[in-house]
Amino acid sequence: MPNPTEKYPKTESLSSLLPMERRDLLKISGGSLMAIGLTSFLDISSAKAQDMSNGADNFYKSRKINIRKVVFLTQYKTKIAANLFTPSQIDLNKHHSAIIVGHPMGATKEQSANLYATKMAEQGFVTLSFDLPFWGESEGQPRNAVEPELYAEAFSAAVDYLGIQSFVNRNAIGAIGICGSGSFVISAAKIDPRLKAIATISMYDMGGVARNGLRHSISEEQRKEIINKAALQRWNEAEGGKREYTGGTDNQLTRNSPAIQREFYDFYRTPRGQYTPSKIAADLTTHPTLTSNVKFMNFYPLNDIEIISPQPLLFISGDKAHSKEFSEEAYQRAAEPKELFWVAGAGHVDLYDRVDLIPFDKLTDFFKQYLKA
């Protein structure tokens, strides 16, 4: 097994597998961690990331909230690391509504999830942010592995944990999934009706984007080339070769970095949202393993989404987000009660941490309506 502190190995970009005339339509997305279609580039002449930090407060702390590190087990007895947030004035002799918060794909609970958990705890909810398996402080080898079924299981395991706390109403537990976690929580909710209300933020359908790219820009031939490359790398690793990583957010920008890559870079590679967990090197953060990343192609979170009903669904997206197609599709396929809420002027990453844009009032009203103690 390669040392996780080894320098991030330079791997062939997924776009290099494609004909030259298609490469300008593809990039490696930091949030989706797959090759996805790109339809526009920033008109920028330098490699400096755009300033998107106005109003951003990813590492927000509140004096009104108590935070405690906790660990709970999945159904498969693997450990999930989490933060439990409770209002400082909470009466622990009463049962309270609770909300689980899942972080963006490739991130950790310290990136966006803690912010949402803190803000919702300020509204009186017990909240829990957690690291997906193989990421952050949660268990799982190899690090940065992709396993969407285990990601969904982690949401159900979080329900288990909250539901046995004496101060939580186990019949009033909801969840927020940010970016890729939006698809993981939907996958969980389809088979776990204990999730009584579900909201997604800047949702990515990780299966859809893996198979088809943004706006269906990946052909079947290109998809097979990606799969074949991962299969060849499995042979290499089976014979003792070095593990390789793919996707994620570029560690450096260039003059030709596309707009979406710059958007993610501004969060993951600057003080705005940069965070490195203890189990991994800084230059490996956000990058999934090459051989496991293709597992998303077998992930269909939106299939049968209508069976979540009558549990309510709230899809929140920026009206300028490159990912808006996934919230639109999920809303169209879901059954009532459901709502699609647009945040005017917001892009995909804006809703990770820009507190002036994130509609916390909308989330508060939604969960207070459907998580009644």
Give the pLDDT confidence of 145-181 residue by residue, as tens digits.
Answer: 999 999 999 999 999 999 999 999 999 999 999 999 9
Number of domains in the chain: 1
Is position 57 within any domain? no
Q: What was the pLDDT predicted at 53?
A: 64
Contact between 173 and 159 under an 8 Å Cβ cutoff? The reply is yes
Is position 49 within any domain? no
Q: What was the pLDDT predicted at 373?
A: 59
Contact between 261 and 28 under an 8 Å Cβ cutoff? The reply is yes
pLDDT score of 38 more than 80: no
CATH number at residue 363: 3.40.50.1820
pTM value > 0.85: yes
Q: Which domain holds residue 79?
A: 67-211+300-371
Is position 83 within any domain? yes
Torsion angle of the four alpha carbons 44, 273, 346, 199, in this order, in degrees rounded to the nearest 10: 150
Is position 150 within any domain? yes
Mean per-residue pLDDT, 24-28? 35
pLDDT score of 10 more than 90: no
Is position 277 within any domain? no
Q: What was the pLDDT predicted at 206?
A: 98
Q: What was the pLDDT predicted at 279?
A: 77
If pLDDT is split at 50, 70 and 90, which confidence band does 316 have?
A: very high
Is position 35 within any domain? no
User: What mean pLDDT value characterizes the chain?
Assistant: 88
Half-sphere exposure of residue 115, counting CA atoms within 13 Å on the CB side?
24
Strand 96-102 with 126-130, pairing = parallel
Is position 344 within any domain? yes
pLDDT score of 140 more than 80: yes
Mean per-residue pLDDT, 55-79? 97
Give the pLDDT confidence of 272-289 residue by residue, as tens digits.
Answer: 999 999 879 999 999 999
Is position 349 within any domain? yes
Contact between 111 and 191 under an 8 Å Cβ cutoff? The reply is no
Cβ atoms within 10 Å, residue 62: 14
